[in-house]
Amino acid sequence: MSAGSSPAVIFDLDGTLIDSVPAIHSVSNAVLTELGFEPLSLPTIRSFVGKGVPNLVRQLLITSGEDPDGPLFPRVEHALIARYETDVEGNVPYPGVVSALDTLAAMGCRMAVCTNKPFGPAEAALRHVGLWEYFEMTLGGDSLPTRKPEPAMLHHCHEALGGGRMIYVGDSEVDAETAVNAKAPFAIYSEGYRKAPLHEVPHDVAFSDWAMLPGLVEGWKW
Ligand SMILES: O=C(O)COP(=O)(O)O
Ligand SMILES: [Mg+2]
């Protein structure tokens, strides 16, 4: 593949590039216990990730027996966002991500991140794990008036990368819906935070090991 013909590759963040649930678990439980609620398990918190902070806060409140539309919402949201940008220790790239990004960059792929995590925590997590410099653009769930599964974030990143052929890489039902809405080819990472069985989530190709992704991009049938 010559550099000129390489596609734009746009990535989801949580559950795709990085395993962020240990960090989100620790931040969420710090906020819950500060407010006098019981901490929640890691699998419970994992099931709340993928639709952005408003959904996470609502789920934390519902699971704690509180009204998600009551006065606790802004308190929990504020406390969560305050910690989200600084408590980045629990974020770890999935095995093989760095090498795959190096290979894609060497192939001439332009790359961006399109996440429902707010921009500030997304930048902090990407910098913490040493991935920030790979991407020409990062958009977070608060960067545009809409977030995934609306297609605007993906369209915006695609244009910023110069348009042309593109692949979206994500892990969840929300990413699959975003790709359908944006009419983008979709590669799903099967080891992230998806809830439904893989065959029930629309995708063009699936990969379980990041070492597979550059070959899939190179051999993509457009
Ligand atoms: O729900 C979130 O905050 C982030 O999720 P995403 O990176 O998978 O879009
Ligand atoms: Mg994700």
Bridge partner list, 187: 169, 205
To the question of whether residue 69 is assigned a binding role by annotation, the answer is no
- The pLDDT of residue 222 is 62
User: Do 12 and 172 touch, CB atoms closer than 8 A?
Assistant: yes
Q: What percent of the chain has pLDDT over 70?
A: 98
Domains and CATH numbers, the chain: 3-20+91-218 (3.40.50.1000), 21-84 (1.10.150)
- The pLDDT of residue 3 is 42
Residue 132 has pLDDT above 90, yes or no: yes
Q: What is the pLDDT of residues 19-60, one digit of tens each?
A: 999 999 999 999 999 999 999 999 999 999 999 999 999 999
Based on the residue annotation, tell me whether 102 is a catalytic residue of this protein. Answer: no
| Residue 90 alpha carbon to ligand 1 centre in Å | 15
Residue whose entry in the numeric block shows the structure tokens 């095995």:
95
To the question of whether residue 14 is assigned a binding role by annotation, the answer is yes
pTM of the model: 0.95
| Residue 96 alpha carbon to ligand 1 centre in Å | 20
| Residue 84 alpha carbon to ligand 1 centre in Å | 13
Q: Is 50 in the pocket of ligand 1 (CB under 6 A)?
A: yes
Bridge partner list, 167: 9
Q: What is the pLDDT of residues 169-216, one digit of tens each?
A: 999 999 999 999 999 999 999 999 999 999 999 999 999 999 999 999
Q: What is the pLDDT of residues 157-179, one digit of tens each?
A: 999 999 999 999 999 999 999 99
What is the average per-residue pLDDT within 128-150? Answer: 98
